[in-house]
Structure formats: structure tokens, C-alpha cells
Amino acid sequence: MGQNTRIYQKFQGYSTEDCSCDYCLYKTKAGCSLEVCCCAEEKAEALLREVAAENQLAAESVKRGRFNAVA
């Protein structure tokens, strides 16, 4: 890339949808042909990232008073 090339959307990691077994090369009609999932680490990282994002969004909503607690 040249010096004037700008990357607008830097790769932030895979999402849980990206790591779905539906896209896996080892999935067959009978199930997975692997004993251990080849994407286990990516799935775990994606899940942690999405949970952290949801928690941050909830915390910001509480700070702004947009959260209605149900008693």
C-alpha cells in the first residue's frame, strides 16, 4: 500500500456469526468430522468481545438514565 492509502475499517476480530459451524469446511450432514473444533479460540474471543460490548452499552444506558429497571 502507498503512503496515501487509508484503511477505514481495521480488522477487529471475528464475530460469533463468522465462527458459525454453518461456514465450517469440516461440517458434514453427519456432523463435524473433527474431534476438536478448529475455530474454538476464535469463537471464545468473539463471544468475550460481544459480551463486553453489550455490558459497555448497558452501563452507558444506565449512566444516561435510559434504563428502566423492572421491579
The tens-digit pLDDT sequence of the chain (71 residues) is 677 888 788 888 888 898 888 888 999 888 889 999 999 999 999 999 999 988 888 888 878 776 665 54
Please check whether residue 6 lies inside any domain of the structure: no
Please check whether residue 60 lies inside any domain of the structure: yes
pTM of the full structure: 0.64
Please check whether residue 32 lies inside any domain of the structure: no
Please check whether residue 44 lies inside any domain of the structure: yes
Please check whether residue 31 lies inside any domain of the structure: no
Please check whether residue 59 lies inside any domain of the structure: yes
Domain span at residue 42 reads: 38-64
10 φ, ψ to 5°? -65, 145
Please check whether residue 52 lies inside any domain of the structure: yes
Q: How many CA atoms lie within 13 A of 42 on its CB side?
A: 14
Please check whether residue 55 lies inside any domain of the structure: yes
